[in-house]
Amino acid sequence: MNIVNDSTCSWINDLPPRTNIKSLQSNEDSEWLIIGAGYTGLSAARKLGQLYPNQKIILVDAQLAGEGASGRNSGYLVDTTLNDGFTSNKDLDNYKKKTDIYNLGINVVKKFINDYQVDCDWNECGKYFASSKKEDEKILRNFSDTLKKLGFTHNLLSNNELSKRLGSNFYNVALYTKGGVLLHPGKLVRAMIDVLPKNVCLYENSSLLSWSETKDIISCKFKNGRVITKKIIFATNGFLKSLGIKSNYNFPITLTASMTRPLTDDEFKSIGQPKEWGVLPIRPMGATIRMTKDRRILIRNTAEVHNPLKMSESELNKRAINQKIGIKKRFPQLPENIVKSSWSGVVSRTRNSSQIFEKIDNNIFAAGCYNGSGIGVGTLFGEQIAIKATEENSKEIKTIEARRKPTWLPPNPFLNFGVKGRLIYERFKARSDI
Ligand X SMILES: Cc1cc2nc3c(=O)[nH]c(=O)nc-3n(C[C@H](O)[C@H](O)[C@H](O)COP(=O)(O)OP(=O)(O)OC[C@H]3O[C@@H](n4cnc5c(N)ncnc54)[C@H](O)[C@@H]3O)c2cc1C
**Distance in Å, CB of 81 to ligand X, minimum:** 9
Regarding 406 and contact with ligand X (CB under 6 A), the answer is no
Crossing angle for the helix pair 39-51 and 185-194, to the nearest 10 degrees: 30
Which 118-147 residues touch ligand X, going by CB under 6 A? Answer: none
Q: What amino acid is encoded at 93 in this protein?
A: D
Q: How many whole angstroms separate alpha carbon 143 and alpha carbon 82?
A: 7
Of the candidate spans 79-87, 149-157, 161-169, 235-243, the one that interacts with ligand X by CB under 6 A turns out to be 235-243
Interaction between residue 4 and ligand X (CB under 6 A): no
Q: Which residue, 40 or 123, has its beta carbon nearer to ligand X?
A: 40
Q: Which is nearer to ligand X, 60 or 108 (CB)?
A: 60
Q: Which of 69, 181, 196, 282 touches ligand X by CB under 6 A?
A: 69
Q: Residue 333 CB, nearest distance to ligand X (Å)?
A: 26
Residue among 77 and 334 whose Cβ is closer to ligand X: 77
Q: Who's near 21: CB < 8 A, 6+ residues apart?
A: 64, 204, 205
| Residue among 10, 73, 87, 342 that touches ligand X (CB under 6 A) | 73
Residue placing its CB nearer to ligand X in the complex, 36 or 406: 36
Residue with nearest beta carbon to ligand X: 374
368 binds ligand X, rule: CB under 6 A: yes
Beta bridge partners of 203: 60
Q: Is 281 in the site for ligand X (CB under 6 A)?
A: no
Cβ partners under 8 Å of residue 355, min gap 6: 101, 367, 368, 369, 370, 377, 381, 400, 403, 406
By CB under 6 A, tell whether 291 contacts ligand X.
no
> How far apart, in whole angstroms, are the C-alpha atoms of residue 280 and residue 175?
10
106 belongs to the binding site for ligand X (CB under 6 A): no
**Cβ-count burial of 85 within 10 angstroms (0-12 exposed, 13-18 middle, 19+ buried)?**
exposed
Per CB under 6 A, which of residues 16..55 are in contact with ligand X?
A: 35-41
DSSP secondary structure letters along 300-358 = EEEEE---TTB--HHHHHHHHHHHHHHHHHH-TTS-GGGEEEEEEEEEEE-TTSPPEEE
Interactions with ligand X, residue window 256-275 (CB under 6 A): 257
CB of 20 to ligand X, least distance (A): 18
Residue 295 · residue 331 · CB < 8 Å: no
Does residue 372 interact with ligand X by CB under 6 A? Answer: yes
For residue 83, give the 3-state DSSP assignment: coil
- Alpha-helical runs (H) found in 65-158: 92-115, 137-150
Nearer to ligand X, 168 or 254 (CB): 254
Beta strand segments in 216-271, E: 217-222, 225-234, 251-260
Comparing C-alpha atoms, which of 309, 284, 253, 281 is closest to residue 427?
A: 284
Whichever of 179 and 238 has its CB closer to ligand X, that residue is: 238
Site for ligand X in 240-259 (CB under 6 A): 243, 255, 257
Please identify which residue in 49, 87, 370, 389 interacts with ligand X, judged by CB under 6 A: 370
Identify the residue among 12, 24, 147, 347 touching ligand X (CB under 6 A): 347
Binding string, 191-230, against ligand X, x = CB under 6 A? ----------------xx----------------------
Q: Does 239 bind ligand X (CB under 6 A)?
A: yes
Q: What H or E segment, with its residue span, contains residue 77?
A: strand 76-77
CB of 322 to ligand X, least distance (A): 14
Segment contacting ligand X (CB under 6 A): 61-69, 315-323, 408-416, 423-431?
61-69
Tell me the C-alpha distance between 279 and 75, whole Å.
11
- DSSP letters, 225-237, are EEEEEEEEEE--G
Long-range contacts of 428-432 (CB under 8 A, 24+ apart): 429/283, 429/285, 430/281, 430/283, 430/284, 430/285, 430/286, 432/132, 432/133
Residue ranges in contact with ligand X by CB under 6 A: 1, 3, 35-41, 60-63, 68-70, 72-76, 207-208, 235-239, 243, 255, 257, 300, 345, 347, 368, 370, 372-375, 378
